[in-house]
């Protein structure tokens, strides 16, 4: 079974506009509202691909109804607080501006219930994805603690992935190797947060096709105890680094409609490929194909296998350039 936990879920509101001029009125040409949050999105993609999936999240009843209406198996962890709303403003050229609420305060009772529900669910898990921001009130190192909780309760060999950013990500890095998941999926900026580099500089190099520093930073994480580091690079594709080697992938040609959910789709594609026993290069191919397919869909449009363009998603083995 494919289990996801989203500690800070959201209602994703996507407003499509022709263009934004700061301080001016913009009229939406399309409005979409969907149940979201990173783990919810991952579960949605996996479920659409035929995987036995269960998404967990602390939420109110109205949010649970939204998830169920999307045909995703969902276990609600009761909380008295309404789920936050995250708003994405998508311009006609695909430029996306995101405004995320912090979310409701996580009280001790909800935190205990979340940990208990996760411990029970993962006893039958093949893969567990812990994803998204942490709500106010959550321990900053909660993800490291949750990784250990999953290790203690899941069957041996269960694949554990974490996808987060900022302080929760930095704290995860502070708890390596004992809090290490099997897979982590940062973008270039988040990768720099983990290794203490310049995020803007790393992103700029990656966008220009210069990925040597990205590979080196990912390899540093592998050496610190994370076996598989999948780095998403937006329109430049992605790279995968493990102890066995490194691979890069370029995306198929698409017209970007919205980047909301693209990274989540990439992670889902990668984990599904891992569960299918595919080789690292093929896992990376599916990660990039899924992310690209999501970016070509409107709103939090999440892809199905029929949306993938695997043929035009190209993967190469990364070869180190010898020093002179």
Query: Which pLDDT value is given to residue 94?
Result: 80
Q: Which amino acids are annotated catalytic?
A: 264
Q: Which residues pair with 5 in a beta bridge?
A: 56, 130
Query: Using an 8 Å Cβ cutoff, are 143 and 131 in contact?
Result: no
Task: Report the distance separating Cα 180 and Cα 162, nearest Å.
Answer: 9
| Average model confidence (pLDDT) across the chain | 93
Higher pLDDT, 34 or 39: 39
Q: Where are the beta strands (DSSP E) in the chain?
A: 2-5, 10-16, 30-36, 53-59, 74-78, 84-90, 96-100, 127-131, 159-163, 183-184, 228-232, 238-242, 245-250, 314-317
Say yes or no to pLDDT of 323 above 80. Answer: no
List pLDDT tens digits, range 158-208. 999 999 999 999 999 999 999 999 999 999 999 999 998 888 888 888 888
Task: Report the distance separating Cα 4 and Cα 104, nearest Å.
Answer: 20
Task: Report the distance separating Cα 278 and Cα 310, nearest Å.
Answer: 14
The CA angle 277-282-284, to the nearest 5 degrees, is: 110
Query: Which pLDDT value is given to residue 209?
Result: 82
Query: Which pLDDT value is given to residue 324?
Result: 44
Question: Residue 255: is it exposed, middle or buried by C-beta count within 10 angstroms (0-12/13-18/19+)?
Answer: exposed
Query: Which pLDDT value is given to residue 149?
Result: 98
> Which domains, and CATH codes, for the chain?
2-317 (3.40.1190.20)
R_g of the chain, CA atoms, integer Å: 19
Query: Using an 8 Å Cβ cutoff, are 114 and 3 in contact?
Result: no
List pLDDT tens digits, range 273-312. 999 999 999 999 999 999 999 999 876 679 999 999 999 9
């Amino acid at each position: 079974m494919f289990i996801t936990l989203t500690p800070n879920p959201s209602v994703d509101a996507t407003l499509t506009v022709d263009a934004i001029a700061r301080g001016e009125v913009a009229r939406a040409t399309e409005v979409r509202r969907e149940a979201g949050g990173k783990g919810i999105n991952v579960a949605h993609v996996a479920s659409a691909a035929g995987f036995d999936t269960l998404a967990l999240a602390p939420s109110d009843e109205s949010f649970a109804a939204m998830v169920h209406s999307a045909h995703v198996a969902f276990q609600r962890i009761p909380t008295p607080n309404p789920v936050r709303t995250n708003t994405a403003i998508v311009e006609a050229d695909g430029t996306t501006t995101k405004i995320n609420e912090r979310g409701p305060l996580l009280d001790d009772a909800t935190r205990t219930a979340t940990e208990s529900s996760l411990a029970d669910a993962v006893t039958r898990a093949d893969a567990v994805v812990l994803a998204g921001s942490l709500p106010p009130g959550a321990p900053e190192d909660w993800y490291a603690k949750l990784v250990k909780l999953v290790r203690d309760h899941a069957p041996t060999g269960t694949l554990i992935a974490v996808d987060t950013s900022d302080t929760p990500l930095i704290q995860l890095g502070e708890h390596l190797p004992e809090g290490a998941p099997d897979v982590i999926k940062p973008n270039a900026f988040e990768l720099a947060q983990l290794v203490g580099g310049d995020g803007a500089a790393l992103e700029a190099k990656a966008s220009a096709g210069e990925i040597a520093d990205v590979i080196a930073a990912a390899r540093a994480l592998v050496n610190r105890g994370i076996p598989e580091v999948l780095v998403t690079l937006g329109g430049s594709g992605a790279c995968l680094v493990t102890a066995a080697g490194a691979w890069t992938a370029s995306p198929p040609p698409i017209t970007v409609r919205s980047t909301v959910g693209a990274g989540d789709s990439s992670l889902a594609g990668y984990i599904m490929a891992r569960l299918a026993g595919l080789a690292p290069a093929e896992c990376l191919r599916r990660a990039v194909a899924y992310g690209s397919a999501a970016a070509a869909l409107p709103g939090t449009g999440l892809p199905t296998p029929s949306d993938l363009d695997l043929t035009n998603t190209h993967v190469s083995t990364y070869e180190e350039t010898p020093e002179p």
